[in-house]
Structure 1
Amino acid sequence: MPATLEQLRRCHFAVDLGAARTRVYVKGTGLVVDQPSVAAMNTRTGALIAVGELAEKMTGRTPDYIRVVRPVSGGTVVDIEMAQRMLRHLLGDKMRRALRRKPFLRGAVCTPHNADPLAQRAAIETLVGLGSRRVELVDTLIAAAVGCGLPVEQPEASMIMVCGAAATEVAVLSLGNIVTAERVRVGGEAVDHAIVQHLRHEHELMLPSQNVRPLQLALSGNGLTSHGPAATEIHGRDVCTGLARSVLVDTAAVRDAIQTPLTAVLDSIGKVLRDCPPDLVADLADRGIMMVGGSALLPGFDDMLRQATSMPVHIAERPDVCAVQGLGTMLEGRVEPLELDPVT
Structure 2
Amino acid sequence: MTVNLEQLRRCHFAVDLGAARTRVYVKGAGLVIDQPSAAAVNSRSGALIAVGEFAERMTGRTPDYIQVVRPIAGGTVVDIEMAHRMLRQLLGDKTRRALRRNLRLRAAACAPHGADPLAQRAITETLVGLGARRVELVDTLIAAAVGCGLPVERPEATMILMCGAASTQVAVLSLGSIVAAVRIPVGGDAVDHAIVQHLRHHHELLLPGQSVRPLQVALSGNGITSQGPAEAEIHGRDVVTGLPRSVRVDTAAVRDAIQTPLTGVLDGIGKVLRDCQPDLVADLADRGIVMVGGSALLPGLDHMLRQATGMPVHIAEQPDICAVQGLGAMLEGRIEPLVLNPMAA
- With the length of structure 1 as denominator, give the TM-score of the two structures: 0.98
Counterpart of 2:331 in structure 1 is 331
CA distance in structure 1 between the partners assigned to 2:240 and 2:152 by the alignment: 54
- Measured in 1, the distance between the counterparts of 2:136 and 2:270 equals 32
Post-superposition CA distance 1:235-290 (Å, at most 9, x none): 11111111111111111111111111000000000000010000000000000000
* Structure 2, unpaired ranges of 5+: none
Residue 252 (str. 1) matches residue 252 (str. 2): yes
How many aligned positions are there? 344
The 5 Å alignment of 1:114-133 reads: 114-133=114-133
- Aligned partners of 2:171 and 2:182 also within 8 Å: yes
Which shifted more, 2-11 or 148-157? 2-11
Tell me what 1:180 maps to. 180
Secondary structure of the residue that 1:210 maps to in structure 2? coil
**Residue-by-residue CA offset, 1:184-209 (whole Å, 9 max, x unaligned):** 00000100110110011000111111
- 1:43 aligned partner, one-letter code: S
User: Which deviates further from its counterpart, 320-329 or 230-239?
Assistant: 230-239
Counterpart in the other structure of 1:12: 12
CA deviations over 1:99-153 (Å, ceiling 9, x no partner): 0000100000100001001100000000001100000000000000000000010
The residue aligned with 1:269 is: 269
Instruction: Report how far residue 220 of structure 1 moved.
Output: 2.7
Which residue number corresponds to residue 141 of structure 2? 141
The one-letter code of the counterpart of 1:62 is T
Deviations 1:28-53 (A, max 9, x none): 00000000000001011111000000
Q: Which residue of 2 aligns with 1:152?
A: 152
Q: Secondary structure at the match of 2:274?
A: helix
Residue 91 of structure 1 is matched in structure 2 by: 91
Q: Kindly indicate whether the alpha-carbon contact (under 8 Å) linking 1:205 and 1:236 is maintained by their aligned counterparts in 2.
A: yes
Equivalent AA in structure 2 for residue 334 of structure 1:
R
Indicate the SS of the match to 2:107: strand
Amino acid at match of 1:291: M
Q: Which amino acid aligns with 2:315?
A: I
Which residue in 2 is equivalent to 1:60? 60
- Residue deviations 1:151-208, cap 9 Å, x none? 0100000000000000000000000000000100000010011011001100011111
Question: What's the counterpart of residue 287 of structure 1?
Answer: 287
Out of 215-224 and 87-96, give the one that drifted further: 215-224
Name the counterpart of 1:196: 196
Q: Identify the residue that residue 39 of structure 2 maps to in structure 1.
A: 39
Query: Is the contact between residue 217 and residue 234 of structure 2 (CA under 8 Å) also seen in structure 1?
Result: no
Deviates more, 1:173-182 or 1:331-340: 331-340
CA contact (8 A) 1:41 1:50 kept: yes
Residue aligned with 2:326, SS:
helix
Contact 1:192 1:212 in 2 (8 A): no
Provide the rounded CA distance (Å) in 2 between the counterparts of 1:64 and 1:222.
Answer: 41
The aligned residue for residue 315 of structure 2 is: 315
Amino acid at match of 1:276: C
- The CA RMSD over aligned residues, in Å, is 1.3
Cα contact 1:166–1:185 (8 A) shared by 2:
yes
1:215 positional shift:
4.2
| Cα distance between partner residues in 2 of 1:290 and 1:166 | 19
Q: Counterparts of 1:36 and 1:185 in 2: how far apart (Å)?
A: 20
Checking the alignment, whether the CA contact within 8 Å between 1:215 and 1:234 is kept in structure 2 is: no
Distance 2:118 2:240 in 1: 44
| Contact 1:2/1:136 (<8 A) preserved | no
Taking the aligned partners of 2:271 and 2:233, their CA distance within structure 1 comes to 39
Aligned position for 2:29? 29
1:2 is aligned to 2
CA contact (8 A) 2:184 2:264 kept: yes
Once the two structures are superposed, the pairs formed by residues 68-107 of structure 1 within 5 Å of their partners are 68-107=68-107
Shift of 1:341: 2.5
Gap regions ≥5 residues in structure 1:
none
Q: How far apart, CA to CA, are the structure 1 residues paired with 2:3 and 2:306? A: 34
Greater Cα offset, 220-229 or 200-209 = 220-229
Cα deviation, residue 210, structure 1? 2.3
Q: 1:161 to 1:323 in 2, by over 3 A?
A: same
Give 1:217 shift.
4.7
